Amino acid sequence: MTDLAVQFEGVRKQYKHFLLDNVDLALEHGGILGFIGANGAGKSTTIRILMGLVVPDGGRVHVLGHPIPERQAIAKRDIGFASEDMRLYKAATIGWHMELVRSIYPKWDPAYAALLLKRFDLRPEQKVKGLSHGQRVKASLLLILARRPRLLVLDEPTTGLDPVARQEVLGELMEVLEDEGRTIFFSSQNTLDVEQISDQIAFIDRGRIIDRGDKESFLDRWRRLRLDVPPGVLLPALPGTVGATGSGRLAVVTTSSYEPEMNLAYQSVGATVHAVDNMTLEEIFVANVMSRREGRVA
């Protein structure tokens, strides 16, 4: 047993052209983890392992205290899972799906389900084959939220949604977050969505977790410095520097561990610090991935 809602220890999965390598993840009860990676980075494989649908070649996985995949059926009683590639039965209605899920989950909340139907502007008698993509996503979300899961696992839930539908879905997730006992594992390549709802971040690239931590520390640590560098001045190699670009006298330095002392270090060699800019999560993610791929450690 473990106190963590999700725990991966040295998880490994080898495919012919892809290796998920030594994945360690820990998500506490009530935490919201944004799991960010490019296409093919290993997000879906990690989530399938979490759900017990793929058996890892090595390592250990515990979800809600249950070893996975051995006790996945028990763990899934308290997991709500939605993914971008999950569909409902076209020939059946939303009401039929609700009845099916209700008959399986004793914690199904009919009042909440009715409220979500209204909020998402859905009707139980609507057949799935007549729904738009946005409506299908909302219907899927309704089916997992109304069962009141302790852990929500969302694999790219907002992919393909128009801006309005995306905001509706995110808005509903924000409301869910008010329940502090609810843990969320949120995978996306859309860093804006992740930035809105997550309190912890993990970056995955080419099958490896390349960085993780709480969101605020990511946003605090990462900075972009714009410098004026006179001819003949060589910038010192400061710890945490993940990139330096520029032309002529202008240089832009990206750092993953900014401290005000960095300004003094650059000034001491004759450079002038014009600006220290905050970075968005997307900029941090891209800089992090590129620096790893180019062999510079963030």
Partner 1 sequence: MNWPIVKRLVWKDWYLVRWPIVGCLAGGALSVAMIGMRTNASFYFGSVLFITVVMIAAILLPMGTVLQERKDQTLPFVMTLPVSPDDYTMSKIIGNLTIFAFPWLLLSSGVMIVLASGGPKMRAVIPFSAALIGEMFASFVLLLAVAIVTESQAWTVSVMVAGNLFLQGFMYYVARIPSIARGLNGNGVSWDPAAITLLIAEGLAVAAMVCVTFMLQRRKRDFL
Please report, as ranges, the residues that interact with partner 1 according to CB under 8 A.
48, 51-55, 69, 72-74, 76-77, 79-83, 85-92, 96, 100-101, 103-104, 140, 144
**Shortest separation between residue 266's beta carbon and partner 1, angstroms:** 51
Judged by beta carbon, residue 144 or residue 289, the one nearer partner 1 is 144
Backbone angles phi, psi at 59, to 5 degrees: 90, 180
Element (H, E) at 253: strand 250-255
**Shortest separation between residue 77's beta carbon and partner 1, angstroms:** 4
**Shortest separation between residue 215's beta carbon and partner 1, angstroms:** 27
Element (H, E) at 28: strand 19-28
Q: How far apart are CA 136 and CA 90, in angstroms?
A: 10
Is the Cα dihedral 239, 32, 71, 83 positive or negative?
A: negative
Judged by beta carbon, residue 155 or residue 195, the one nearer partner 1 is 155
**Shortest separation between residue 198's beta carbon and partner 1, angstroms:** 21
**Shortest separation between residue 229's beta carbon and partner 1, angstroms:** 52
Place of tokens 């949604």: 161
Judged by beta carbon, residue 17 or residue 87, the one nearer partner 1 is 87
Q: How far apart are CA 219 and CA 217, in angstroms?
A: 5
Judged by beta carbon, residue 79 or residue 210, the one nearer partner 1 is 79
What count of residues does the chain have?
Answer: 298
Judged by beta carbon, residue 100 or residue 276, the one nearer partner 1 is 100
Judged by beta carbon, residue 41 or residue 262, the one nearer partner 1 is 41
- Type of residue numbered 102: R
- Type of residue numbered 104: I
Q: Which two tokens stand for residue 17?
A: 């052209």
* Close Cβ partners of 195 (under 8 Å, ≥ 6 residues apart): 34, 215, 280, 281
Span between the terminal Cα atoms of the chain, in Å: 34
**Shortest separation between residue 150's beta carbon and partner 1, angstroms:** 13
**Shortest separation between residue 80's beta carbon and partner 1, angstroms:** 7
Q: Which two tokens stand for residue 88?
A: 């409902």
* Close Cβ partners of 182 (under 8 Å, ≥ 6 residues apart): 30, 149, 150, 151, 152, 176
Judged by beta carbon, residue 22 or residue 72, the one nearer partner 1 is 72
